[in-house]
Structure 1
Amino acid sequence: MARRIGVEESLQNVVQALREKGHDVVELKQESDAQGCDCCVVTGGDSNVMGIQNAVTQGSVIEASGLSADEVCQQVESRLQ
């Protein structure tokens, strides 16, 4: 079943891999883009340095740093089951 997945703009290889698997991929350009997503994939490059937490989505958040596109797809699919 296709799900709505938010992915940071810089992760184009992940965007392509998720689209190939039939997911509806939304590129995250601003926080509001994450609304309605079942899961979000981020680089982790701008992690919460100041300790402020503003939840924009109820879905899982996957940090892609150090993972291949295939590994990210596996993480997404395991969290959506």
Structure 2
Amino acid sequence: MAKIGVEQSLTDVQQALQERGYDVVQLNQEQDAAGCDCCVITGQDRNVMGMQDTTTQASVIDAHGRTADEICQEVEQRINQQQ
């Protein structure tokens, strides 16, 4: 099953993805997005410095203003597109 990185504050999204069988890891300073197939971020601190360096080839989903179900559906779509 796909490995999904989720920011720490998105516990409802983490639970919903785990219930669907995904391997979920928390993204924080120690754990980056390396090895993840998809990442879910809060969008609160997105590109604050105006830098566009990427550290992963994984899809990134902005959770701002979205429900856990909407996010899970987008994760599934992006994972299916990668296969």
TM-score, structure 2 as length reference: 0.91
Equivalent residues of 1:31, 1:56 under 8 A apart? no
- Per-residue CA deviations over 1:32-61 (Å, capped at 9, x if unaligned) read 421010000000000102211221111100
**1:24 is matched with which residue?**
23
Unpaired segments of 5 or more residues in structure 2? Answer: none
What's the counterpart of residue 10 of structure 1?
A: 9
What RMSD in Å do the two structures reach over aligned CA positions?
Answer: 1.2
Q: 1 CA distance for matches of 2:30 and 2:78?
A: 21
Deviates more, 1:24-33 or 1:3-12: 24-33
Aligned length: 80
Q: Which runs of 5+ in 1 are unaligned?
A: none
- What percent identity do the matched residue pairs reach? 61
Q: Which amino acid aligns with 1:54?
A: D
TM-score by length of 1: 0.93
State the partner residue of 1:38.
37
Counterpart residue identity of residue 39, structure 1: C
Amino acid at match of 2:28: K
Q: Give 4+ residue runs of structure 1 displaced > 3 Å after superposition.
A: none
